[in-house]
């Protein structure tokens, strides 16, 4: 009925081979359903997580190809927006962070080397999807840990991503270290999107504890971000968008099945 489908492509890296959160988030046995995880360096996320193997250069090259192949499958399936998940301690984020990437080759040891994996993925995916499909990148704009990835790093990365045809930076945070210290509250990550947007002029999305129509409208009206992404609020209230439109006195499309509920 006119909805635009988008998909997020991710690789869990060292956070993989774990049971579902609602099943205890426990390490899976390799003799059972588990598998050997991989990461930029052989550093586990936590003692309760599997010890990953360090990816070889050949492994990295194959993973870049796998992301491109996944993007092609997404386009073939009819998706109209692609987002690369480079946040929350998953594989791409693991390469970006000096806390989890302690390599000494061309994929580690410096800012330019640590972002190389992501840049290669972006270029490979863009080559597959062409110029007409929006390409977003979700990042942890800060790790909230001393010595970790910072908002300044994110701004520097965003400038480069803009140059290689990324359309929007989805600004989340954290997830790569158990040592993170986050003061969580309403709109707590919105300033990150605002900082990246102001410093780079790339489009950004604000996320994180945005739960009302007024909050979302304020973010856009005050030009703190170009889009607002919601997840948990939409899970709590699948019809949030319809209620938000009513709150803001905005006309919106209702699915024909629900028009009698207006």
pLDDT-above-90 percentage for the chain: 93
Q: What is the pLDDT of residue 1?
A: 62
DSSP for 18-72, please give it. B--GGGT--BPPTTTT----EESSS--SSTTSPPPEEPPHHHHHHHHHHHHHHHH
Is it the case that residue 186 has pLDDT exceeding 80?
A: yes
Task: Look up the CATH architecture of domain 6-182.
Answer: Alpha-Beta Barrel (3.20)
Averaged pLDDT of the chain: 96
DSSP for 113-179, please give it. HHTHHHHHHHHHHHHHH-SSS-EEEEEES--SSTTS--HHHHHHHHHHHHHTT--EEEEE---S-TT
Q: What is the pLDDT of residue 21?
A: 93
Asked whether the beta carbons of 5 and 78 are under 8 A apart, the reply is yes
Which one is catalytic: 45, 49, 90, 107?
Answer: 90
Q: What is the pLDDT of residue 87?
A: 99
49 is catalytic: no
Is it the case that residue 115 has pLDDT exceeding 80?
A: yes
Instruction: Convert the pLDDT of each residue in 13-67 to its tens digit.
Output: 999 999 999 999 999 998 889 999 999 999 999 999 999 999 999 999 999 999 9
> What are the domain boundaries of the chain?
6-182
Instruction: Convert the pLDDT of each residue in 147-164 to its tens digit.
Output: 999 999 999 999 999 999
pTM as predicted: 0.95
Distances in whole angstroms, Cα of residue 131 to Cα of each of 8, 72, 81, 164: 18, 13, 11, 11
Residue 101 is classified by DSSP as: -
Position 254 confidence tier, pLDDT thresholds 50, 70, 90: confident
User: What is the rounded average pLDDT of the residues 66-70?
Assistant: 99
Nearest to 130 by CA among 170, 76, 92: 76
Q: What is the pLDDT of residue 2?
A: 76
pLDDT-above-70 percentage for the chain: 100
């Amino acid at each position: 009925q006119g909805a635009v489908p988008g998909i997020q492509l991710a690789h869990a890296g060292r956070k993989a081979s774990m049971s579902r959160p609602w099943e205890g988030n426990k390490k899976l046995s390799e003799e059972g359903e588990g598998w050997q995880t991989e990461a930029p360096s052989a550093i586990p996320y936590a003692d309760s997580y599997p010890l990953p193997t360090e990816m070889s250069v050949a492994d990295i090259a194959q993973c870049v190809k796998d992301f491109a192949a996944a993007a092609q499958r997404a386009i073939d399936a009819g998706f109209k927006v692609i987002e690369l998940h480079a946040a929350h301690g998953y594989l791409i984020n693991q390469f970006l962070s000096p806390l989890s990437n302690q390599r000494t080759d061309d994929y580690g040891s410096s800012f330019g080397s640590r972002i190389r994996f992501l840049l290669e993925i972006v270029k490979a995916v863009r080559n597959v999807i062409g110029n007409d499909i929006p390409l977003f990148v979700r990042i942890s704009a800060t790790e909230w840990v001393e010595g970790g990835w910072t908002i300044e790093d994110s701004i520097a990365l965003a400038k480069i991503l803009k140059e290689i045809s990324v359309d929007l930076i989805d600004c989340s945070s954290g997830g790569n270290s158990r040592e993170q210290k986050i003061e969580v509250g309403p709109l707590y990550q919105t300033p990150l999107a605002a900082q990246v947007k102001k410093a780079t002029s790339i489009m950004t999305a604000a996320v994180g504890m945005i739960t009302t129509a007024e909050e979302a409208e304020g973010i856009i009206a005050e030009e703190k971000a170009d889009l607002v992404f919601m997840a948990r609020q939409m899970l709590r209230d699948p019809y949030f968008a319809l209620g938000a439109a009513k709150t803001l006195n905005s006309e919106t499309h209702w699915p024909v099945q629900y028009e009698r509920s207006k």
